[in-house]
Structure 1
Amino acid sequence: MNAQLVVGWDGSASARRALEWALTQKAPSLLLVEVVDGLDRFSGNDLSADPRADGAVFVETAAADAERAHPGAVVHARVLTGHPVEQLARLSGPGTLLVVGDRRRTLLPLRGGWSVGARLAGKATGPVAIITEDTAGDGTGVLVGIDDSDDARAALKFAASWAARMQQTLHVLHAWRTPYLWNDRVPPGILFQEIATQHAELLADAVAEARRLHPGLVIEGHEVDGVAARSLIEAASGRALLVVGDGGVSGLERMLIGSVGHDILVNLAVPTVIVGRHSPAPAPKPTPTRAPVIPSPVLLQAPTRTVVAWGGDLPSRSAVEWALTRETSGSLDVVMIADESASIPDSIAAAEQVALDDRELSRMLGQVTSLAPDVTLHGRVVRGFVLHTLASLTRQDTLLVVGTEDREGPRLRFGLSVGAHLPALARGPIAIIPRTVDRMSTGIAVGVDGSAASNAAIVVAAAEAAQRGQTLHLVHAWTEPLLYESTFLLDGEFIRSLEADHRAILDAAERTARTSGFDVRIETHLVGGDPARALADLSPRPATIVVGTRGLSGWRRLVLGSVSRDLILNLDVPLIVVGHPDAQPLDDAALDQHEVVSA
């Protein structure tokens, strides 16, 4: 490859296997690095002033042996002092692939803790290749796992570039789990069809992008209904390389990568590259190592105004009443959409329908005014297409409130459909209100995972808790990595270390809440299990649940992540979905195709 290869060296069998693998990757040169801690382990003498005193000859010998065994190869050697993960991470960058070995232990407990490669994957600013010492060298094809995240897009670009350079077939795999309803309810078939279509389009877009990047590359797409990590591990058998996004969390002192990465790293069977969202594909020419670019912090804000979507039915009435119960003063906007798809624009029938909608809206506002006498209600009818018109009403400072139930007839369709689609299009938070709301519940629960979307949700949840004078519950759910070979065990120290990593996420979330500018009582919950169930089953039952979602960007987005989707499908408490603060919404020209026809 044209990217620079840096191989971590410690003299072990896995390090030798990593070096052998790197030598077959057609790089013009590679750097073999040994990191010593500067302390003689036997005498206790400090050797940091002369790091070459410990192991330098050994790594140089390994480099020379590699050049002799591979004529034409150029292998440079270097010895550094410090912690292996920290020092190797400093060598990472967009144009550098770090290559490290991973010991495949033969005695129990197997893979009892994170290897250097696993921790390096969470700290590096470029891709990291992890090679097991028993990796077969006869695999063919490059397998990449994709979803709708930015790090998956980076993984796709890396894998496509690598496959093109090595003249290998690129296998693009997208695994997704069929949604299910709790309490043994059965969702409508049209919902399954819609979700399946979204996933099929996501895979098709990924394959198309890889072909656009490398027109001559042979590409095969694979769609699997199943758990992502297990699907990738099973499909990786016989492949030359597996590439996955890190699914990582930035801004934490401790290393932590996504759950898919967890499971893959403890079940490594083929050479695997972990690619973060800031790890571009290898460039045509070597790129000098550089420090990571730290993005400017995004100003997180809570909504200061509320808009309710009125559909003329009971779920919409519940949405209006819920919005009024959280207001003590000020004003509330209620908007009814005159759906252009239901009639001919500018026709007599359309004008008559608008007049009817206006009278119905005015009558409803008169009925609910007594719920909040100090709140001024403003109603208006807006002509446009329902979904895009509602999306155009969203802003970071605006909470848009919608009902949830599916409606009958061609006009009123923004029930589950809007709840499922608006979060991906919206430029601000969306509150989705069930038809029946338990007025006795108390507390605001927010799911946290350390992401930017999660932090935005924390600020919105803190504002909601402060406005209502209720407790803010920060909930972080996690699961232990799954081992797919019964002979492997995870030891207690590893589990405790992993739990501490997740506790760090919760602690960081608490700091975000306390510095949000809202004075609220905070309780934290570290829960094992599924995030959606952890939020829904929280005791005491919360009055409102808040979650973050990624929203739209330059990569096709599914309308919802799995947590938001499961909560909406099983919704029985008000749910606020908060988009990623950096997400790029549809442009204003596309959204603002509506006109106010009454006010």
Structure 2
Amino acid sequence: MAESVPILVGVDGSRSSNEAVRWAAATAERRHAPLHIVDAAFVEGRSGVPIGLPPAYLEEQEPERRRLLSDAATIAENAASAGALTISTELVPGNPSRVLVELSSAAQMVVVGSRGHGEITGGLVGSVSIAVAAHADCPVAVIREPSADRATSGDAVVVGVDGTPNSEPAIEEAFIEASLRGVELTAVHAWSDVSLSALRPHEPTFHWPTIQEREQAALSESLGGFADDYPDVTVRNVVVKDRPVDSLVELAAGAQLLVVGSRGRGGFARMLLGSTSRALLHRTTCPILIVRN
């Protein structure tokens, strides 16, 4: 970990954003990294007036957004247990998702709330968090409102492992987080990404004990080098037949963090978010870290 590279958190004053600030502050403190708090907004003299709003709108925006940044910095200070966290703030004119993606190249992690102000689609995850998770150059943590209270109460970090090199960046981040938090790492591997309910158990190609033994070996091989680098982390291997999303959601329900790659073994290079990571963004209730692969 590059200790001088900041943890970046995007804020907008929503409850979800405030939880993201608390989570980001705790993460930055564990990683001995500075915390950079960013608010992207329309600012007088540097942005055009949004359609349908009076010209005076921008005159009121900048002081309000700077107050929001100050409040976020106070939240971060209170969340840092040792009180030694380096915090900086920045007001950047522009679209929030575009700004955060542009700044992600100079961050070790971007943290966003699951939904901000103005998210009226009814979805569990807002458009900004999905866009940042899909396009950022570094890992992206998406935080739901209850997650800050659970950030130190769970007993594990959970990581999805598909048995291909695509999983390696996520595995490394998961070991880092488990080591820093002093908790167990639960590694989950599914033999199939699709439901096998239509496959008759007596067919010669389906002998689950044999398949399970083979997949356990493949999972251990995927984790081996990382386990050597982090001997302090206890690892629990979980192999399931199919439907990795269901298993990950279930195991992450009591976890501190869920870590997955942006694309799985079936993901095309042009896909920015695979079906598994996208589904988990909408279904998981704990903080989720999407790692570019």
Residue in 2 aligned with 1:464?
Answer: 177
Residue in 2 aligned with 1:453?
Answer: 166
- Give the number of the structure with larger relative contact order, counting CA–CA contacts within 8 Å between residues 6 or more apart: 2
Residue in 1 aligned with 2:274?
Answer: 561
User: Contact 1:308 / 1:400 at 8 angstroms: preserved in 2?
Assistant: yes
Residue in 1 aligned with 2:94?
Answer: 384
User: Contact 1:401 / 1:433 at 8 angstroms: preserved in 2?
Assistant: yes
Matches within 5 A, 1:433-448: 433-437=143-147, 438=150, 439-448=152-161
TM-score w.r.t. structure 1 length? 0.41
Residue in 2 aligned with 1:473?
Answer: 186
Q: Which stretch of structure 1 is more off in the superposition, 325-334 or 564-573?
A: 325-334
User: Contact 2:253 / 2:285 at 8 angstroms: preserved in 1?
Assistant: no
SS of the residue corresponding to residue 550 of structure 1 reads coil
- Counterparts of 1:387 and 1:342, CA distance in 2: 19
* Alpha-carbon spacing, 1:493–1:401, altered in 2? closer, same or farther (3 Å): closer
Counterpart selection for 2:6 from 299, 305, 319: 305
* Alpha-carbon spacing, 1:506–1:384, altered in 2? closer, same or farther (3 Å): same
* Alpha-carbon spacing, 1:528–1:348, altered in 2? closer, same or farther (3 Å): same
SS of the residue corresponding to residue 541 of structure 1 reads coil
Letter in 1 for 2:86: T
SS of the residue corresponding to residue 502 of structure 1 reads helix
Matches within 5 A, 1:425-574: 425-437=135-147, 438=150, 439-479=152-192, 482=196, 489-491=202-204, 494-516=207-229, 519-538=232-251, 541-550=254-263, 556-557=270-271, 559-574=272-287
Letter in 2 for 1:343: P
**What's the offset of the Cα at 1:450?**
1.9
User: Contact 1:453 / 1:550 at 8 angstroms: preserved in 2?
Assistant: yes
User: Contact 1:447 / 1:454 at 8 angstroms: preserved in 2?
Assistant: yes
| Structure index of larger Rg | 1
Describe the superposition over 1:54-95 as per-residue Cα deviations: whole angstroms up to 9, x where unpaired. Answer: xxxxxxxxxxxxxxxxxxxxxxxxxxxxxxxxxxxxxxxxxx
- Counterparts of 1:407 and 1:499, CA distance in 2: 46
Letter in 1 for 2:9: V
Matches within 5 A, 1:50-69: none
Residue in 1 aligned with 2:69?
Answer: 361
The gaps in structure 2 that reach 5 residues or longer are: none
* Alpha-carbon spacing, 1:482–1:470, altered in 2? closer, same or farther (3 Å): closer
Describe the superposition over 1:2-40 as per-residue Cα deviations: whole angstroms up to 9, x where unpaired. Answer: xxxxxxxxxxxxxxxxxxxxxxxxxxxxxxxxxxxxxxx
Counterpart selection for 2:58 from 338, 346, 350: 350
SS of the residue corresponding to residue 454 of structure 1 reads helix
Describe the superposition over 1:175-221 as per-residue Cα deviations: whole angstroms up to 9, x where unpaired. Answer: xxxxxxxxxxxxxxxxxxxxxxxxxxxxxxxxxxxxxxxxxxxxxxx
Identity %: 28
- Counterparts of 1:485 and 1:471, CA distance in 2: 34
Q: Is residue 403 of structure 1 aligned with residue 122 of structure 2?
A: no
Q: Which stretch of structure 1 is more off in the superposition, 477-486 or 461-470?
A: 477-486
SS of the residue corresponding to residue 529 of structure 1 reads coil
**What's the offset of the Cα at 1:361?**
0.9
SS of the residue corresponding to residue 104 of structure 2 reads coil
Describe the superposition over 1:460-513 as per-residue Cα deviations: whole angstroms up to 9, x where unpaired. Answer: 111111111111111112349848687x94138744443333223211222132
Q: Is residue 333 of structure 1 aligned with residue 36 of structure 2?
A: yes
* Alpha-carbon spacing, 1:452–1:418, altered in 2? closer, same or farther (3 Å): farther
- Counterparts of 2:145 and 2:253, CA distance in 1: 21
* Alpha-carbon spacing, 1:525–1:379, altered in 2? closer, same or farther (3 Å): same
- Counterparts of 2:79 and 2:269, CA distance in 1: 44
User: Contact 1:318 / 1:433 at 8 angstroms: preserved in 2?
Assistant: yes
User: Contact 1:475 / 1:535 at 8 angstroms: preserved in 2?
Assistant: yes
Q: Which stretch of structure 1 is more off in the superposition, 380-389 or 516-525?
A: 516-525
Matches within 5 A, 1:13-412: 305-326=6-27, 327-328=29-30, 329-339=32-42, 343=50, 349-350=57-58, 352-372=60-80, 373-395=83-105, 398-405=108-115, 407-408=117-118
* Alpha-carbon spacing, 1:536–1:503, altered in 2? closer, same or farther (3 Å): same
Between Structure 1 and Structure 2, the one with more helix by share is 2
- Counterparts of 1:431 and 1:307, CA distance in 2: 10
Letter in 2 for 1:317: N
User: Contact 2:40 / 2:91 at 8 angstroms: preserved in 1?
Assistant: yes
- Count of residue pairs brought into register by the alignment: 273
The gaps in structure 1 that reach 5 residues or longer are: 1-300, 581-599
* Alpha-carbon spacing, 1:493–1:537, altered in 2? closer, same or farther (3 Å): closer
- Counterparts of 2:26 and 2:199, CA distance in 1: 53
- Counterparts of 1:429 and 1:396, CA distance in 2: 12
* Alpha-carbon spacing, 1:483–1:405, altered in 2? closer, same or farther (3 Å): closer
SS of the residue corresponding to residue 105 of structure 2 reads coil
User: Contact 1:336 / 1:380 at 8 angstroms: preserved in 2?
Assistant: yes
- Counterparts of 2:49 and 2:231, CA distance in 1: 44
SS of the residue corresponding to residue 118 of structure 2 reads coil
**What's the offset of the Cα at 1:516?**
4.3
User: Contact 1:461 / 1:546 at 8 angstroms: preserved in 2?
Assistant: yes
- Counterparts of 2:72 and 2:195, CA distance in 1: 52
